[in-house]
Amino acid sequence: METLPEVARFGVSWRESMHALNTSRSHPCSVRVVSRRSACERLAANGGRRETPLHWGGGMGDRAWLWRRTRNEETGVNIIMIGAQGSGKGTQAELLEQKVGLKPCASGELLREHIARETLLGLAAKPYVERGDLVPDGLVVQMILDFIRSRGSNGIVLDGFPRTIPQAEMLDADLAQMDQRVDRVIYLEAPRDVLLARLSGRYICRAHGHVWNIYTRPPKVPGICDSDGSELFQRSDDTPEKIAHRLDIFFNETIKLLDYYEARDKLTRVDGTQPIEVVTRAVLAALRVEA
């Protein structure tokens, strides 16, 4: 558990912290006022877990925070996409958004977004990222829960989290507090040699992170994203050595999640080496949606 001084280091100035509260949505809620110190203590004591901040309460004193706990949240269908990098998780998440309205939620992108926007959670995570340390699981889970509250009324497709069984257990427990759950877990199976070949041809668009592949999903115009017209680039960590390291982590550690979700009758295995449209049909069938 973090101590308050550790939390204080990411608290920065009061004015800067207020910027983190300008991301609320209108929901029926119960409101109460707590001090900034109390808010930080709650954040530290709960490993990053918190209630959702509402907004800055002008006229109530410059040391007050408003917090809310939403009620009657709409419950969507929450999907976890498991697969090694190169298995096609990002592509399938985009297609699920187009076909059934599920919002893609990549944990790495979510973390970078919170840090860039200087939200309360982003400010809490930034020191860990700057030191090269792992961000506490509680902070990542809260980012995911906030994403569901703000943009996932129809449900989300979660990519990149959880990676371990303790993370999966924490996510399940916190979703239950929102009367939500993980409904289905899709594992995109692909052998190591296929993954290595795919990753060597992967390109990302600079504007919105759309994923293309010169072998399996080439853009219409080389080097240009079909979706938004921005430039495509290869990630700096898509080198043979770094790719091999990431695959080692997946096949030695993340793969253990399959037993966890299979025991809960939530796992569907899909052959990720098939053409993209065939994989999509299999994923939709697992969700009991007509292609």
Closest CA to 168 of 132, 187, 135, 140: 140
Query: 186-215 burial string, b = 16+ CB within 10 Å, else e?
Result: bbbebeeebbeebbbbbbbbeeebbbbbbe
Which residues are catalytically annotated?
A: 89, 163, 202, 235, 246
Strand 29-35, strand 64-70: pairing: antiparallel
Q: Quick check: bond before 162 cis, omega within 30?
A: yes
CA 223/CA 231 separation, integer angstroms:
6
Q: How many helices (H) and strands (E) does the chain have?
A: 12, 11
Phi, psi dihedrals of residue 67, rounded to the nearest 5°: -125, 150
Using DSSP's 3-state secondary structure scheme, residue 11 falls into helix
Phi, psi dihedrals of residue 172, rounded to the nearest 5°: -60, -45
CA 119/CA 31 separation, integer angstroms:
20
Phi, psi dihedrals of residue 113, rounded to the nearest 5°: -65, -45
Dig out the tokens for 161 from the structure.
Answer: 């989290």
Hey, which residues does 66 pair with through a beta bridge? 33
CA 84/CA 63 separation, integer angstroms:
46
Dig out the tokens for 290 from the structure.
Answer: 């007509």
